[in-house]
């Protein structure tokens, strides 16, 4: 980011953001975020800013027109460029704050900011610090501490094995969580800026101790039986569903999975709308404490109360209790092998400004770094397979902004406590599940359409009256991920999956209007807005056709993914899978994969519980083996 690019970026921010935003601070934060991107991404943004240099030197009206021309341009790269700058700039404009201070936009939109009540009191999670060049010994080295890594580490440790866990992300205790949206960058992969190669889908993936379980929305759904049977056919593992059943029971009990005590106004929209329509809706089971109270609504920023049962809370303490160790900020550089057997993991731990080398000698290595990072670790270790990095599923999400003539305050109360399958399974086992998002200002501002500075600011002023319903699509057609250090995500929503996504989006409109929404809007660059009185059967049909005619081309509308699955599929045939039915990489007796990478297909539900059950199953199979 040279001086000219910084000046251009500053003018982009000033054009996009509202007048009451701290433009200079937002521009500086955006510049720092761009500097932290991977080299390829950074170069892409640099070229975009060079292209915008002259247009951004013009007056405010001309700058706005230039950005609008990018937003819905026929050239995909122009749309991608606008989407990237818009998401970053507006997230920071509404999400940034300094400790103990408010963001100047919050009073205008009615957002309360962080709560002031006491944080949790409890023992901190024990962490290990390496000496540079240190060698340690373990029965199992586990790379990753999320839903897969945390559970398999706990299971092995409780069985008397010495386990060393290596987590690339930082570690945070409940007292560290400030409930400030800007701080989420330290909890997410690529500081929350991960996206598909064309920026068409914004990807949210946890990158901290606890992985995705530290930041997800607590939904704890089991793999549907009909999809488990489909997995059995795809993988060739005939008893997979039955084998997983006791492990689902075990992890559900450990997590204390149960429905929320009550629904906030955001989630009540689904229940009320579905009831009015006479279609399915139900309460979502959650991995939060029964005494979670009103459910503060800030769980995506890390639970400051110790009430959310992430792996850091429910599983990882078992490691230290049983003589093992957890290293945070410890990136697995490579797995060292002798022939086709792993001997150690070479890691590098960040301790302040130091980078310390650590070698973990282990009888067995477990890779559980998530679907976006597990393939790269294996590849740079010389562990190859033609299907490694292939069959990546993302559960693409499209949303609608439903505005009510009453306050919803989507940031308050238990998050994601209800769902509807009324529009699911429309094409065999494929379709879309309707859920709602707990929306805070930064996420909202980055997602809702920007047509002008004034239009966007006015929409944000109504955000307290908004429920954001989304269609979570079970994708049939996968993408892939590059095996280099940048882990480029190559994924496009197929026509088949796009049909299911758009049908689910129409269903979200149905539910919103049945619940009393005054109007609802898509997240297209040129948004489609509908008022309740127009939502007749005839209009609905035409609206559906309009959505299909626009299609799901990248960056025509904002799409998200919070679930990444596949890339090292499990199966009974080494030609069609990367790992065998017990989780071992074909040809490597002591290298296991135990995360969502092993999914043979997408799960169709929030995958946390399935990842945990799969990791528990893999651990049990290995422990059952005779030495």
- The owner of tokens 């500097």 is 35
What would the mean pLDDT of 352-367 be, rounded to a whole number?
A: 97
Residue among 422, 406, 380 at smallest CA distance from 465: 406
Judged against a pLDDT cut of 70, whether residue 4 lies above it is answered with yes
Burial environment of residue 253 by CB neighbours within 10 A (0 to 12, 13 to 18, 19 or more): exposed
Query: What pLDDT score does 534 carry?
Result: 97
CB 322 within 8 A of CB 303: no
pLDDT tens track for 257-295: 999 888 999 999 999 999 999 999 999 999 998 777 566
210 contacts 150 by C-beta, under 8 angstroms? yes
627 falls in which pLDDT band (50, 70, 90)?
Answer: low
| Terminal alpha carbon distance of the chain | 56
Q: With DSSP H G I counted as helix, E B as strand and the rest as coil, what are the percentages for the chain, rounded to 5? A: 40, 20, 40
Given a contact cutoff of 8 angstroms between Cβ atoms, the answer to whether 610 and 603 are in contact is yes
Which residues lie below 8 Å from residue 65, measured CB to CB, with a gap of 6+?
none
pLDDT tens per residue, range 79-115: 999 999 999 999 999 999 988 889 999 999 999 999 8
- How confident is the model over 571-576, as a mean pLDDT? 98
- Whether 432 has a pLDDT exceeding 90, the answer reads yes
| pLDDT tops 80 at residue 142 | yes
Residues of the chain with CATH 3.50.50.60: 134-194+204-255+301-391+566-624
The pLDDT, as a whole number, for residue 571 is 98
Instruction: State whether the Cα torsion 310-311-316-317 is positive or negative.
Output: positive
Q: Which fold has domain 134-194+204-255+301-391+566-624?
A: FAD/NAD(P)-binding domain (3.50.50)
Distance CA 108, CA 120 (A): 31
Average pLDDT value for residue range 32-42:
92
Instruction: Quickly list H helices, 236-290.
Output: 240-255, 265-277
* Least confidently predicted of 38-42, 249-253, 397-401: 38-42
pLDDT > 70: percent of the chain: 98
When pLDDT is averaged across residues 30-51 and rounded to a whole number, the result is: 93
- Range 543-575 burial, b when 16+ CB lie within 10 A, else e: beeebeebebebbbbbbbbbbbbbbbbbbeeee
Distance CA 399, CA 374 (A): 29
What pLDDT, in 10s, does the model give residues 382-424? 999 999 999 999 999 999 999 999 999 999 999 999 999 999 9
Residue-wise DSSP of 505-563? HHHHHHHHHHTT-SEEEE-BSS--EEEGGG--HHHHHHHHHHHHHHTT-TTSB-EEE--
Q: Average of pLDDT values for 561-568?
A: 98
Domain 265-288+393-561 belongs to what architecture? 2-Layer Sandwich (3.30)
Mean pLDDT rounded to a whole number for the chain: 95
Residues of the chain with CATH 3.30.410: 265-288+393-561
Across 192-200, average pLDDT? 93
Is the Cβ–Cβ distance between 410 and 232 less than 8 Å? no
pLDDT of residue 174: 81
DSSP 133-189: TEEEEEEEEEE--SHHHHHHHHHHHHTT--EEEE-SSB---GGG----GGGGGGTBG
For residues 86 and 97, the answer to whether their CB atoms sit within 8 Å is: no
- Segment 314-336 shows an average pLDDT of 98
Q: What local confidence, expressed as pLDDT, does residue 175 receive?
A: 81
């Amino acid at each position: 980011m040279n001086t000219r690019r910084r000046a251009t970026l500053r003018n982009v921010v000033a054009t996009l953001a509202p007048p009451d935003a701290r433009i200079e601070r937002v521009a500086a934060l955006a510049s720092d975020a761009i500097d932290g991107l991977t080299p390829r991404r950074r170069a892409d943004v640099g070229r975009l800013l060079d292209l915008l240099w002259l247009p951004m030197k013009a007056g405010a009206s001309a700058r706005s027109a230039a950005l609008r021309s990018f937003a819905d341009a026929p050239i995909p790269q122009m749309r991608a460029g606008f989407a990237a700058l818009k998401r970053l700039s507006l997230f920071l404009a509404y999400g940034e704050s300094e400790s103990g201070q408010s963001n100047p936009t919050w009073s205008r939109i009615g957002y309360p900011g962080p709560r002031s009540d006491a944080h949790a009191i409890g023992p901190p999670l024990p962490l290990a610090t390496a000496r540079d060049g240190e060698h340690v010994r373990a029965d199992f080295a586990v790379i990753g501490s999320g839903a897969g890594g945390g559970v398999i580490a706990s299971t092995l440790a409780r069985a008397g094995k010495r386990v060393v866990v290596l987590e690339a992300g930082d570690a945070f205790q409940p007292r560290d969580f400030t409930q400030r949206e800007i701080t989420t960058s330290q909890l997410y992969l690529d500081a929350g800026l991960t996206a598909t190669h064309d920026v068409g889908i914004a990807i949210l993936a946890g990158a901290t101790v606890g992985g995705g379980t530290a930041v997800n929305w607590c939904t704890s759904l089991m793999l549907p039986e009909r999809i488990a049977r489909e997995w059995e056919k795809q993988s060739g593992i005939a008893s997979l569903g039955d084998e997983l059943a006791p492990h689902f029971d075990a992890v559900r009990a450990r997590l204390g999975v149960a429905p929320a005590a009550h629904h906030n106004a955001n989630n009540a929209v689904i229940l009320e709308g579905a009831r009015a329509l006479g279609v399915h809706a139900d309460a979502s089971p959650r991995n939060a404490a029964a005494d979670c109270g009103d459910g503060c609504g800030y769980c995506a920023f890390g639970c400051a109360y110790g009430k959310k049962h992430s792996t850091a809370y429910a599983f990882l303490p078992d490691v230290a209790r049983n003589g093992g160790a957890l290293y945070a900020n410890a990136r697995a550089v490579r797995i060292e092998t002798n022939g086709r057997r792993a001997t150690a993991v070479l890691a590098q731990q960040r301790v302040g400004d130091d980078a310390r080398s650590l070698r973990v000698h282990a009888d067995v290595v477990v890779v559980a770094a998530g679907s976006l990072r597990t393939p790269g670790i294996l590849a740079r270790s010389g562990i190859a397979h033609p299907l490694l990095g292939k069959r990546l599923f993302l559960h693409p999400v499209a949303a609608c902004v439903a505005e009510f003539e009453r306050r919803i305050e989507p940031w308050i109360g238990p998050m994601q406590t209800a769902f509807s399958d009324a529009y699911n399974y429309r094409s065999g086992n494929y379709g879309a599940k309707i859920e709602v998002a707990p929306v805070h200002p930064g996420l909202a501002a980055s997602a809702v359409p920007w047509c002008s500075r004034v239009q966007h600011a006015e929409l944000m002023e109504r955000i307290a009256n908004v429920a954001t319903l989304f269609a979570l699509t079970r994708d049939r057609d996968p993408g892939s991920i590059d095996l280099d250090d940048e882990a480029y995500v190559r994924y496009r929503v197929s026509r088949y999956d796009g049909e299911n996504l758009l049908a689910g989006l129409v269903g979200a409109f149905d539910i919103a209007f049945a619940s009393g929404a005054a109007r609802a809007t898509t997240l297209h660059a040129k948004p489609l807005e509908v008022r309740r009185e127009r939502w007749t059967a005839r209009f609905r049909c035409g609206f559906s056709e309009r959505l299909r005619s626009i299609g799901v081309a990248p960056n025509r509308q904002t799409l998200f993914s919070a679930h990444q699955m596949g890339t090292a599929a499990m199966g009974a045939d080494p030609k069609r899978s990367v790992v065998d039915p017990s989780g071992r990489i074909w040809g490597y007796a002591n290298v296991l994969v135990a995360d969502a990478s092993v999914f043979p297909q997408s799960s169709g539900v929030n995958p946390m519980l399935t990842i945990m059950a799969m990791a528990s199953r893999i651990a049990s199979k290995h422990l059952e083996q005779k030495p």
